[in-house]
Amino acid sequence: MSSVPDRSEVDERYTWDLESIYATDDDWEEAYEDVTERVGELEAYEGDVTDDAETLLAVLECRDELMRDVSTVAAYARMRRDEDTTDQEYQALTARAQSLASDVQSAASFIDPELQELTREEFDAMVETESDLETYDHYVDDVLRMKPHTRSAEVEELLADLGEVMGATGEVYTMLSNADMAFPTVEDAEGTPVEITQSNFTTLLKRPDRDFRQRVYEGYFDEWTSMRNTVATAYKNSVKADVKTARARNYDTAREAALNGPNVPVSVYDTLVDSVHDNLDKLHRHAELKRDALDVDELRMWDLYMPLTGGEGPDLEYEQATEYVVDALEPLGETYRSRVAEGLESRWVDVYENEGKQSGAYSGGTYDTQPFILMNYQDDITSMYTLAHELGHSMHSELTKDEQPFVYSGYEIFVAEVASTVNEALLTNHLLETVDDPAFRKHVLNEFLERVRSTLYRQTLFAEFEHEVHRLEEEGSPLTADRLDELYGELKAKYYEPAVVDDRIAREWMRIPHFYRAFYVYQYSTGISAALALVDRILEEGETAAEEYLAFLRRGSREYPLELLQVAGVDMSTSEPIDRALATYGERLDEFETLLA
C-alpha cells in the first residue's frame, strides 16, 4: 500500500470490540469515578494489615478488587489511544487513567511493608484461622522474599507516587515516534510514491529493488537522526531512573533489580549472552548465505531483512493466515484450537494499520475482559507469524484466568514469551508438513531462520547493549548520543561481522521502544529457546507433553518462572535449551543451503 487509511475507513470486522468493555465513553467515566471513590476504602486499612487473619484477608481482597477495576479502566483508555495516537481526547483519557492507576498503586503501597512485619510461621498460623488466606500463600512468600528491597511505608508511597513521573520518558518517546515524527515518502522503481511508516519500514526492506531499499533505509534513519539529541536525552533519563530506583531499593545494579522482581538469577542472563557468543559463527553463516543468495559483493544494512529467497514472499491475506494459524495449533488439543478460532471470529484482533495507529503488535485486555490484539497486518508471512505470536499471549491469559484468582492472573515476561513462541514454532512445523508449493516452503523456512536471527540473536544484542548502557550510568560515565552510537555500532559489527556496518545503523538503538522497559528484551531470547524445546517434546510425545504445557499455561504466576517452566519440562537455569535452539538454527541453515545449491 502506498497510503495508509484513516481509522474510519477500516471495516469494523477488522477492528477490536472495545465496546465489549465499555459501551460508551460515558460508561468509562462512571467506572473511572467509581474507582476514584473507592481508593479511600483501601487507605483506611493502613496500619492494620496484620492485626488478625480476618483483616489481612479483607485488605488483600479490597486491593485485588480495586486493581482489577483500575486495570480495565486503564486498558480501555490506552487501547482507544492506540487506535489513533494523534487523538487528543484519548491521549487525555490515557493520562487520567495512568494517573489513577498510580494513585491506586500509591494507596496500596503500605501493604507489602506491613506484611513483611510477619514471619512465615505467623502467616501460616493465620491461614489456620482463616483458610481463604491460603490463596495468597505464594504471594506472601514473594513479599517476604523482597523484604531486603522494600522500604518503609512512607518511602514506598513516595516511590509509588513517583512511578508515573519515572516512566514519563517512555511516554515522551511513544508520542514522538508514533505521533510527531514524519517519515519521508520515497519513489519505487515505477515512480510510485511510497510512504514510510513505523509499521511498514521492515516490510519495505524486503522488496527486491535494492536501490529502493537503500532509499527507504536512508530516509527512515535520517528522520531518526534529526531527533537524535532528543531521543538520546529521553533514553539517558530513562536509564537514570532505572539506576536510581534500583539504588533506592538497595540493589547494587539496575539489572539485578529488574531480574530479582521475577526471581530470575542474573546467571541466566549471562548464560544467554555467553551461549550466543559461542554460536555467532552460525549468524555469520546466515549473513554470508544471504549475501550469496542476493548475489551482492557486500551485504549492507538495507539487505538484512531480505529473505534468502531473493524476493518478497507471497501475498497472504488475513483470512488465509488465520486458517493456517488455527490448524497449526491442533497438537495442543481441540479445546485450545477451537477457542482461538472463536476468538478470531469475536473481534479479538485490530487487524490493519491506519493513520496514527500505534506501531507494532501486542496482546492486551484484562482479567475481566476478552483478549485484545493490536496488529498492523501487512499481508505477508511475517504478519501471520506475528498473529500466531500474539494469540499465544492471549491464550496464556485466557487459560490462566480459567484456573487462577486475580492475584496470580498475570505472568512474568520470562514465561509469556514462551507461550507466544510455541505458537510460532507449531506454525512452522504445520506449514512445512502440509504446504506442497516449493516456493512457499522456502519462504516458511526463511521465516524460521529470520525469527531465530531477529529473536534469539538480535534481542541478545539488545540485551548486551542495555546492560552496558546501565553499567556506564552506574559508573558515572556520561551517556551522550555519540557514546550510545559507538556502543551500539560496536555490537552490531560483532554480531554481523560479514556485513558492512554504517553510521546510520549505529543509531538503530533509537528506534527500539523496549529499551524504555529495562532488561525486558533478553526474555525474547530465552523464550524462543524454551519454546523450541517444548515443541520438540509436544511433537515427539504427543498428548502427555501437550497437557504438561497447558498445565504450565494455567498456572499463571502461582510459582516463580523457572519453576513454572520445569512444570512444562524445560530447565532454563542451564544453557541446554539455548544450545538446542541454536543447533536447530544451524541445521535449518544447512537445509536451506542445500535447497539453494
- Which one from 157, 390, 398, 450 is the annotated catalytic residue? 390
- Integer angstrom CA distances of residue 235 from 232, 307, 550: 5, 32, 38
> Using an 8 Å Cβ cutoff, are 410 and 550 in contact?
no
Indicate if 390 belongs to the active site: yes
Q: Are strands 349-350 and 185-187 parallel, antiparallel or unpaired?
A: unpaired
The packing angle between helices 334-345 and 318-328, to 10°, is: 160
Question: Which grid cell sits at 36?
Answer: 476514584
Backbone φ and ψ for 121, nearest 5 degrees, come out as -65, -40
> Using an 8 Å Cβ cutoff, are 150 and 156 in contact?
yes
> Which residues lie closer than 8 Å to 477 by C-beta, 6 or more apart?
483
Closest CA to 81 of 60, 97, 59: 97
- Cell 477451537 appears where? 338
**Helix (H, G, I), strand (E, B), or coil: what is residue 364?**
strand
Closest CA to 171 of 224, 226, 234, 101: 234
> Which residues lie closer than 8 Å to 499 by C-beta, 6 or more apart?
287, 291, 298, 299, 300, 301, 303, 304
For residues 59 and 386, give the distance between their C-alpha atoms in angstroms, rounded to a whole number.
40
- Cell 539529541 appears where? 229
Q: Quote the longest CA-to-CA distance of the chain.
A: 77
> Using an 8 Å Cβ cutoff, are 285 and 279 in contact?
no
**Helix (H, G, I), strand (E, B), or coil: what is residue 185?**
strand
For residues 387 and 390, give the distance between their C-alpha atoms in angstroms, rounded to a whole number.
5
Q: Which sequence positions are flagged as catalytic?
A: 390
